[in-house]
Amino acid sequence: MPYNYLQLSGLLAQLAERLDDPGNLYWSQSELLLYVQETFRTWQAISGYWRGRMTFNTLPGITYYDLPSQLGSIIPYTLKDTDLNTLLAYHLIETPPTGGTWTGTDMFSIDDLTRALERRRNQFLVETGMVVTRSLFNWPAPPTPSFGLADTTIDVRRAAWVSAAGKYSTLWRSDEFGASTFSPGWNNSPQDPPSAYSIAAEPPVTLALLPPPLNPGQVELFSVLAGAPLNPAAGVLLGIPDNLAWIVKWGALADLLSKAGQAEDLQRAGYCEQRWREGINIARIHTSIVQAAINGVISETNALESLDAYSPGWENTAPGLPTSVALSAWNMLIVAGPPDAGPYSLQLDVVQNAPVPVLLTDYIQVGREELDVLIDYMEHLAFFKMGGDDFLGSTSLYDRMLRMGGIHNERLKASVNYVEPMADRAVREEILTPRRVPIEQGQGA
């Protein structure tokens, strides 16, 4: 049953009173609404407070599903560059831009804001690797050993060879040194299918197959890609989880306030950079699916790496009722094996987008026991534009929300025996095939 004890209008009034601005003279109601919405998203990121159920049907022969884009998704991408530009403008005491038109002071420009957001959005993608894209492309006529990928490629997370007959073979991650050690002369011995892929000895955004293929075929890739170029005149989706967009905002603010000249504010820039790093750590353990069911029957949710290792050839099985699901990242669901015409129902319990209030009559969907610390954080966000000691003195309000988030998770852990395996579904692929290894544990520079 949803909460129905407080409407958005009442919450905004309480926040304005906390700020000693009941007439909304210094903080407009529109500005405070954005702080309310960001607070809900931040709370969801640190606590996983709201869960929801989404259902959609399989498509014949399709094994991969981008969760935010599915019909009925409750984790869609909705935030655009224009949304964050407005937030940045309020934080910087500037007039919010209208599309691509800047009406603020000469301390900043619309290009400053857009480029800062784009840089940090792409840095978010490389540091978290939580959004992957599936692609399929033709491999050049053999014996071509390597091939240039799109220059938007950040990481290759999984690869498979597809023969001319449509048979899939997993390509394992390797390197030329390992191939030469265990199979001398591999580069002069083409074979079908290739057994591995490498990025070790190749130029950037280039993929090599080990050994080279003997006959033409295709390569299926699951990759982390740079995001779409931002364009505030049109409004472009950020392409990252709504619950984590605030991380990009803090990163962009760190860059904007480090700008030489009259905009420079290294004290607040340092705070923003700290929030960015904290956010990245949160994002790297953020999950999507908690539980999955196929046609109403609970299915174990694996990592794609486990599916490849323990069910080799799963993509080549006869079409029918899928028997399990896997995740290759936060956004990408895989069903095994390929579904036939079915259709079959996929029912997913997920950590949903925070239910942010929009209309003044919307009820606030949080318990009474957490409301006070959330208003604390809204107040902290509002104080940012005041700068100096006024803002830095409000950091204890942020700490109060963090502490309550920890209490919420401790209560959940006490009540749910298997909370860890239910909460790490989207990061198991990262655990099994790490994207990053601390340099002291690895080899080379």
Per-residue pLDDT, 185:
86
Query: Over 60: is that where the pLDDT of 174 sits?
Result: yes
Question: Rounded mean pLDDT of 134-161?
Answer: 92
Percent of the chain with pLDDT over 70: 97
pTM: 0.94
Please spell the DSSP secondary structure of 255-280, one letter per residue. HHTTSSSTT--HHHHHHHHHHHHHHH
Q: How far from chain centre, in Å, is Cα 436?
A: 17
Helix, strand or coil, per DSSP, at residue 109 = coil
For β-strands 153-163 and 217-225, DSSP reports them as: antiparallel
Question: Rounded mean pLDDT of 245-270?
Answer: 95
Please spell the DSSP secondary structure of 187-220, one letter per residue. GG---SS--EEE-SSSPTTEEEEES--SS-EEEE
Sequence-separated (6 or more) residues with CB below 8 Å from residue 209 = 139, 145, 146, 161, 171, 194, 196, 197, 219
Sequence-separated (6 or more) residues with CB below 8 Å from residue 177 = 200
CA distance 233 to 82: 8
Per-residue pLDDT, 445:
43
Please spell the DSSP secondary structure of 67-101, one letter per residue. GGGSTT-SS----BHHHHHHHHHHHTT-PPPBTTB
CA distance 255 to 267: 12
Query: Over 50: is that where the pLDDT of 444 sits?
Result: no
> pLDDT band for position 443 (50/70/90)?
low
Per-residue pLDDT, 440:
67
